Chain A
Amino acid sequence: MHPAAADPSRRLCFGMAAAGLGWMALPAGIALAAEAEVKPAAQRDLRDWLALVQEASRRRSYTGTFVVMSAGGTLSSSRIWHACDGDQQFERVEALSGPQRSTFRHNDRVVTFFPEERVARFERRETLNLFPNLLQSNGAALPEHYEARVAGSQRVAGFDAHVVDIRPRDHLRFGYRIWSEKRTGLVMKLQTLDSHGTVLEQAAFSELAIDVPIKIDRMVRMMEDTAGYRIEKVEPPKTTPEQEGWTAAAAPVAGFTAMDCYRRPARAPRPGASGAMQCVFSDGLASVSLFLEPYDAAQPPKEQALAVGATHTLGMRLDGPWWLTAMGEVPQQTLRAFAGRFVRTR
């Protein structure tokens, strides 16, 4: 196939063939993002912006300090490193506040080390792999519920960024404001806003360096070094509501599609926390988890409605000895709308 050429040109041929195959294997999001990049900022719609910010985080290596602030006054920060190698994504998060912990991620595999307790927790976060495919499939629904508008530019952590307002079209969800770095599209800052425009939560890079070389093999070695740590694997089995004895009663809350259901393990030492079913719903930007479990009539949990940053929670009794805990980055009224979602079949 290849002529008997000198080594350099043969390598070049192989390289081009590999690049060609690699190009086909890359997620479809690149096509979306490339399309979005070509458009001037003012003309990009919601899907363009989301594709752009998605691809930016998959294509760039960066390191910096990330700060999360909630309206309740809590402030947490962490030092982060993100590296990519083709399609492989690597991340390291060192929490600077709260209990000491280091989180490592390789694609959808996440390992969190808790040095004080000598525990290493292994998880598989499948939702991280969903995009940009979800964007493709659910893409049509997103613009029905949100609209995006450029609201100017600002500097964040030394970079010029477009400020994009993402407004919900109804009162069932929150709005967002993202600061997308002009050159790469990377999200520098993200605010979650309620219907009055109040900032419920803000997450931003206080310092950032983009396109810096990061040693991936060192990160992988740190991730796999579990010597002296007790390993905890958190992989609840997937299930369906039907299997757990529930049927969908009401129509789904507008815009939210059912994602996965998990059967959570019962933690024997803690009475009352027997295995719950977790059902996840998402409208593309906001997600809601419904936890359904039996409750101990002798020690009933308290009905409650709380907010932790942008995450709202609702705990209430269902017909029969069943307890629902709904939580998500949505207003309380949306959580209430979810309450009638499932009824018991058996």
Chain B
Amino acid sequence: MQQPLDDRIESGMNKRETVSALADGQLCGEAFAQAVRWALDDAEGRQAWRDHHVVGDLLRSTDLASRRDGDAFVARLRERLAQEPAIRPVVVQEPVVAELPPLAVARDSANASVFRWKIAAGCASLAAVAALAWTAAGPLLQEERSRPQLAAVPASSSANPGMVAVANADGQMVIRDPRLDELLMAHRQFGAASALQMPAGFLRNATFEEAGR
């Protein structure tokens, strides 16, 4: 077993890989001892060890990275990549996934500090609630049967300007006038005498105010 390892260490291409394997704890026994000896004694080995750890620290901490010559670095990287032998992509049959499930990772997202995204996230969750409520309200509307008939104002007499159409409990669109809105508001303000007022009743009245005060 010794000989193949020595050969590996001697060949320059794999020296750095050996150091990497040593740092990752993948070597053991004789191979480990040999790699340690090489990392200590050989100048190239020591350099490889230092490089390995510097790169690791840089990758794990953005503070240490010097960003001064970022563009030059990218240019150099591109050159090196171009020099690498082209690898033919292996075709793998993957099941078609329509949508990836959200990752359940608890960490700050990159846009956590941008307020606009927080608003967007809030609106998205509200839209989700609305969607759920809409699905829930669907069967509710269908269940209504033989309720006392609510008189609907005939459409022909709705020539009055300023009338606001609203859906009543049967789902019909009925014309309502601003005067009624005013009284409704008065009822909510002064006529709300209920043991269930706090907190649900008061909050419901404060939330459920229609447009056109």
Using a CB–CB cutoff of 8 Å, the interface residues on chain A facing chain B are 50, 53-54, 57-58, 66-78, 80, 82, 91, 93, 95-99, 101, 103, 105, 110, 112, 114, 123, 125-128, 130-131, 134-135, 142, 176, 178, 186-187, 190, 194, 196, 198-201, 203, 206, 234, 236, 259-260, 262, 264, 267, 270, 272-273, 276, 278, 280, 282, 284-289, 291, 301-309, 311, 313, 315, 325, 327-329, 331-333
B190 touches A289 (CB 8 A): yes
Interface size on B, residues (CB 8 A): 59
Contact with A328, one of B143, B151, B191, B196 (Cβ below 8 angstroms): B191
CB neighbors of A among B151-186 (8 A): 151, 153, 157, 166-171, 174, 176-180, 182-184, 186
Q: Do A134 and B209 form a contact, CB below 8 Å, given A71-B144, A307-B169?
A: no
CB of B120 within 8 Å of the partner chain: no
CB of B56 within 8 Å of the partner chain: no
Using a CB–CB cutoff of 8 Å, the interface residues on chain B facing chain A are 126, 129-130, 133-134, 136-137, 140-141, 143-148, 150-151, 153, 157, 166-171, 174, 176-180, 182-184, 186-187, 189-204, 206-211, 213
B194 touches A286 (CB 8 A): yes
Q: What 9 pairs between A and B have smallest CB-CB spacing?
A: A289-B191, A282-B193, A307-B169, A72-B167, A289-B187, A190-B200, A57-B198, A78-B207, A93-B206
B182 touches A198 (CB 8 A): no
Chain A residues contacting B151 (CB-CB under 8 Å) are: 303-305
Chain A residues contacting B169 (CB-CB under 8 Å) are: 70-72, 200, 307, 309
Contact with A125, one of B157, B184, B189 (Cβ below 8 angstroms): B189
B186 touches A73 (CB 8 A): no
24 contacts between A and B (CB under 8 A): A53-B198, A54-B198, A68-B203, A68-B204, A71-B137, A72-B171, A73-B171, A114-B213, A125-B189, A127-B190, A196-B147, A198-B140, A198-B144, A259-B193, A260-B190, A270-B179, A284-B194, A287-B187, A287-B191, A289-B186, A311-B184, A313-B184, A328-B187, A328-B191
How far, in angstroms, from A99 to B151 measured CA to CA in the complex? 29
Chain A residues contacting B134 (CB-CB under 8 Å) are: 73, 75
Chain B residues contacting A53 (CB-CB under 8 Å) are: 195-196, 198
How far, in angstroms, from A68 to B208 measured CA to CA in the complex? 7
B193 touches A280 (CB 8 A): yes
Measured CB to CB, the closest approach of chain B to A275, in angstroms, equals: 12
Q: Do A78 and B186 form a contact, CB below 8 Å, given A71-B169, A288-B191?
A: no
How far, in angstroms, from A128 to B105 measured CA to CA in the complex? 45
Chain A residues contacting B177 (CB-CB under 8 Å) are: 301-302
How far, in angstroms, from A224 to B137 measured CA to CA in the complex? 39
B176 touches A306 (CB 8 A): yes
Closest chain B residue to A51 by CB distance? B195
Chain B residues contacting A186 (CB-CB under 8 Å) are: 199
B190 touches A187 (CB 8 A): no
B157 touches A302 (CB 8 A): yes
Measured CB to CB, the closest approach of chain B to A2, in angstroms, equals: 39
Question: Max chain B CB contacts within 10 Å: which of A131, A286, A307, A332?
Answer: A307
Closest chain B residue to A203 by CB distance? B204
B133 touches A75 (CB 8 A): yes
Closest chain A residue to B163 by CB distance? A302
Measured CB to CB, the closest approach of chain B to A20, in angstroms, equals: 27
Chain A residues contacting B182 (CB-CB under 8 Å) are: 267, 273
A127 touches B197 (CB 8 A): yes
Chain B residues contacting A308 (CB-CB under 8 Å) are: 166, 168, 176, 184, 210
B202 touches A128 (CB 8 A): yes
Closest chain B residue to A199 by CB distance? B140
Chain B residues contacting A325 (CB-CB under 8 Å) are: 180, 183
How far, in angstroms, from A98 to B133 measured CA to CA in the complex? 17
B171 touches A187 (CB 8 A): no
